[in-house]
Structure 1
């Protein structure tokens, strides 16, 4: 995940080739989830805020300036009903503990008092705010009883101090499932059943039942709120059908989400994590319309590609993005599209009546869901640039000029991101 304090995104090393086949799915106890958001909450002034039919739209908020944009919590659109504050800091004296320091200097003078007031205002609308631990550069070690105790105690202290509703585990440098399990169960004992526990593992963290996050999710399935897998910065991975899938496609997302859905987690505990814009990640970006396809495939068995679940799973837990700040740079296209889909269910609401007449002229431009700039033959593109052309979005693998997307073949410069 490109969640860092430096000024430009960094692609992680791609994980090439196939991994060992997944073990058979195993049963775990039924989940007792914290309360999901209601369909509609009423705010004090009478305004209503839609809550996406009980599904989460999770977005990360930057407590730093990485060149995307900075904003106070009060500017976060109401479509985001779960806000993860990125990130906690290591405690100065308690090994394994965490603290939080608002980066006011990087946030245009945003004060601690304003931050606290904004948390309360967001929560007054029926939305939730949690503290995220980790990210690309952040790390906290919870690998023994003392560290587990310190993590639980300091996290609960932050919840009491700032009013956070829970914690997001986004540790990307390895995780000790045994002691993180102890820490989160201790935290649940202190905070109670309303505690939100989210996690944002990388795809490799669920490739086998022996992987740390796979074990952790199984261990705490009775108190776990949602797993928002990072379906980006990944490379090729095995799906639940033991076939290899390439990131940046609905097949990749659906086939890997199937791993969590078949391991015994409730569908409401499974979320899809994607970057809001191409610049937010080193690879794996999907146009919002393609994320909708993955949702449709998993929930209703429609809009599937090469991968299709044996049986549709019904409503899953929701969608996550890195990040709200990156989404702001694109007019919140991610939040608007995904929130509409979550509210409307598989396929959305759809028209109530068929068209009354055929269109008299063919479309003159790109489909409306293409967010990337149109390809032009005279422009120069470098590796990672994304363009729209012929109703699809394409990513350049290296420097190119004058080579038309869709004509360079499987091993050519242009890699298909997906239809849009």
Structure 2
């Protein structure tokens, strides 16, 4: 974001029970981790699978790896809470940085979406059978238990589309979000007191927190130039306005970074400084969370540490948003994308800036799509949606009209068309995503001030359209 005129996201325990002449009484054994699998949902041409790894041993484990085969014609698409590699039809998942350590009796779950009708086979966890070690002594057999009822002849109902995950229960945010940035600086856009933000915005990101001389630490105060332009606007006025917006049911978060921001969290000590200083600002001004908008480099390891520490201080109500540039969300291994995936369990939303980007490859990797089009927005949002982020964690960031960006400015109707394409499969351009994502979270704009300068066209067009999405 710029502060000037131009602005720079097994063992299958759907258990295959067979009733034979003899029933095997299996002994209790679990020398290490085991894994169970369920199909959480099935819509005919695909399904959602979930594995739960449980440490059945007497000592803690520090990591886990689970692998299974899928038959030809069935493959994995989106996945979450694990990392994925594949070779042919063998799919291998490993833990994320935050869910690898399991104490005795503890468990971790990851999930994925698959296309095709097959199910996992040959499951192994930490190179042992997912059901546990094979016993060395054949178990005794007993007569078969009585069968009390016949298995159902009618399969359970299926859904027509992959399930969407509801927004995390850690906050009272609405299902759909319109986010806008509020300028704490003076530029050619209209200057606004915070309380004068139009009612359409659900989340207001205050831009920006500033770096201090302490690495990682951030500070905030009302900009003197803005105060002068508004005829006097103090920190006390701003704090009162935060309370006013919150009383209206809005959320106010503090954005860190921007085009000229120099906040750097590159060590354990700077991560602590970030968390401590951000928490102090939340307490002082009443912010509901933070937005990470670092355009000059980001260390995912230490920023993840900082954000987890901050959430431990604030609690589950903390909003954590991100506003990466388009290039930052092209590859799950890149720093911004890795951060988003590493904190997925506490992340609220990623509002990628789909502008000032030029042409870029989409999730099909077949063509470069030009910015400022439905194809560009959908094909690039698809990268995030197909590589680990839940739909409710993905928002579309676009400029609010003339003056707001150097490129990629679109009519708000184009934003609505992109939302329709992603959520419903309608109003698409020539590119169509591999599936629909009914849980897509919403849209973001840079900025509220530029939107007001352009007649509130973005908010008044996009906000009511969000209510039409499934």
Are 2:302 and 1:167 aligned? Answer: no
In the alignment, is the contact (CA less than 8 A) between 2:78 and 2:385 conserved in 1? no
2:71 matched to which residue of 1?
none
Are 2:6 and 1:9 aligned? Answer: yes
SS at match of 1:279: coil
**C-alpha separation in 1, matches of 2:297 and 2:335:** 7
1:103 matched to which residue of 2?
223
In the alignment, is the contact (CA less than 8 A) between 1:74 and 1:122 conserved in 2? yes
In the alignment, is the contact (CA less than 8 A) between 1:152 and 1:186 conserved in 2? yes
In the alignment, is the contact (CA less than 8 A) between 2:168 and 2:348 conserved in 1? yes
Q: After superposition, where does 1:138-287 map in structure 2 within 5 Å? A: 138-242=261-365, 243-287=367-411
In the alignment, is the contact (CA less than 8 A) between 1:34 and 1:196 conserved in 2? no
After TM superposition, give the deviation of residue 97 of structure 1 in Å.
0.3
1:303 matched to which residue of 2?
427
**C-alpha separation in 2, matches of 1:228 and 1:69:** 23
**C-alpha separation in 1, matches of 2:317 and 2:308:** 13
In the alignment, is the contact (CA less than 8 A) between 2:171 and 2:316 conserved in 1? no
After TM superposition, give the deviation of residue 114 of structure 1 in Å.
1.1
1:411 matched to which residue of 2?
none
Query: Which structure features the higher share of helix residues?
Result: 1
SS at match of 1:336: helix
SS at match of 1:315: coil
> Compared with structure 1, are the counterparts of its residues 134 and 296 closer, same or farther at alpha carbon in structure 2 (3 Å cutoff)?
same
Query: Which structure features the higher share of strand residues?
Result: 2
After TM superposition, give the deviation of residue 251 of structure 1 in Å.
0.6
Q: Which runs of 4+ in 1 moved over 6 A?
A: none
In the alignment, is the contact (CA less than 8 A) between 1:37 and 1:126 conserved in 2? no
SS at match of 2:467: helix
Q: What are the superposed Cα offsets for residues 169-222 of structure 1, whole Å, 9 maximum, x if unpaired?
A: 000011101110111111111111000000000111111122101100110000
In the alignment, is the contact (CA less than 8 A) between 2:369 and 2:376 conserved in 1? yes
Are 2:446 and 1:322 aligned? Answer: yes
Q: What are the superposed Cα offsets for residues 340-368 of structure 1, whole Å, 9 maximum, x if unpaired?
A: 1012226xxxxxxxxxxxxxxxxxxxxxx
Q: What are the superposed Cα offsets for residues 96-154 of structure 1, whole Å, 9 maximum, x if unpaired?
A: 10010211432321111111111001001111000000001112111111111100110
1:334 is matched with which residue: 435, 445, 458? 458
Query: Which stretches in structure 1 are left out of the alignment for 5+ residues?
Result: 13-22, 39-50, 347-420
Query: Which stretches in structure 2 are left out of the alignment for 5+ residues?
Result: 9-75, 82-109, 112-164
Q: What do you get for the CA RMSD once the two structures are aligned? A: 1.8
In the alignment, is the contact (CA less than 8 A) between 1:96 and 1:150 conserved in 2? yes
**C-alpha separation in 1, matches of 2:369 and 2:333:** 21
**C-alpha separation in 2, matches of 1:66 and 1:282:** 15
After TM superposition, give the deviation of residue 25 of structure 1 in Å.
5.3
In the alignment, is the contact (CA less than 8 A) between 1:37 and 1:55 conserved in 2? no
Larger Rg: 2
**C-alpha separation in 2, matches of 1:302 and 1:25:** 21
